[in-house]
A = this chain, B = another copy of it.
């Protein structure tokens, strides 16, 4: 069955809502999805308790470096398997800023996104599908350039800034200065993801219609050279955020890398059915 057809005679078509007779209106096309972009990763350590409080059973803190956090800006171009979005780039391009921690599940270490903002609706709901708790924000990250003065070169001394705002409030500000090369872009976001996918019942009484623990990773990942360096980060208050609970205690460093990846499916690990 193709395109997320729900398998019901006369059923509507479309991977995601709104489902329709043709499937054309779906906010998110069916996977696989292809991504090419630039990722700036800032890693630091916070109080391990601040990470632990974001890990519900059956998850626990990572054995090593349980307070490690990554804040990542990813400046993406992405598309479905028709590649049509690349010719209508409003439907392909977006930036996301996400905060990742590590955790332990059944003896394995996983990465887990705890907070994340994007600036396009298709990216937001595609993220919900993958268990990323995406909200909308105003996100910017410096791009490297090869000509002219208005941007860093990918070499020692190259300086980057990155910001995340929502509802007109600045939430996160970071800087990154290249000092050299690195074998990989940090370690916090380096594991398969383990996410919850949750959705409350329409009875809205504290019960969930969907409450799953899932894991996933991309495939055919292709990366460019990785640049490492020094980083700074500041987290700010908002009436609808709690980022300052993850305030940095010790900086680890920063990394910049071009990344190509693809996503086809994840795996449901546990599922709590609604009663």
Instruction: Report A's interface with B, CB cutoff 8 A.
Output: 1-12, 15-22, 24-27, 30-31, 34-37, 53-54, 56-57, 76-79, 83-84, 86-93, 114-116, 120-121, 124, 128-131, 133, 135-136, 138, 140-143, 145-152, 159-163, 165, 167-170, 175, 196-212, 214, 216, 222-224, 239-242, 245, 258-262, 264-268, 271, 273-274
Contacts and interface: CB of A to CB of B under 8 A. Distances in A.
A87 B198 contact: no
A260 B200 contact: no
Residue of A5, A18, A31, A121 with highest tally of chain B CB at under 10 A: A18
22 contacts: A7-B206, A19-B196, A19-B198, A25-B242, A37-B145, A76-B150, A86-B152, A88-B140, A89-B162, A90-B138, A90-B163, A121-B124, A129-B204, A130-B202, A148-B261, A165-B165, A197-B199, A202-B265, A202-B268, A209-B212, A209-B268, A209-B271
Contacts of A211: 6
Contacts of A7: 206-207
Given A6-B211, A202-B268, 17 more contacts: A6-B198, A9-B57, A10-B57, A11-B57, A19-B133, A21-B245, A89-B141, A90-B168, A129-B200, A129-B204, A147-B223, A168-B168, A197-B199, A202-B212, A202-B266, A204-B265, A209-B268
A194 to B, nearest CB: 12
A91 to B, nearest CB: 6
A6 B199 CA distance: 10
B149 A36 contact: yes
Contacts of A148: 34-37, 222, 259-262
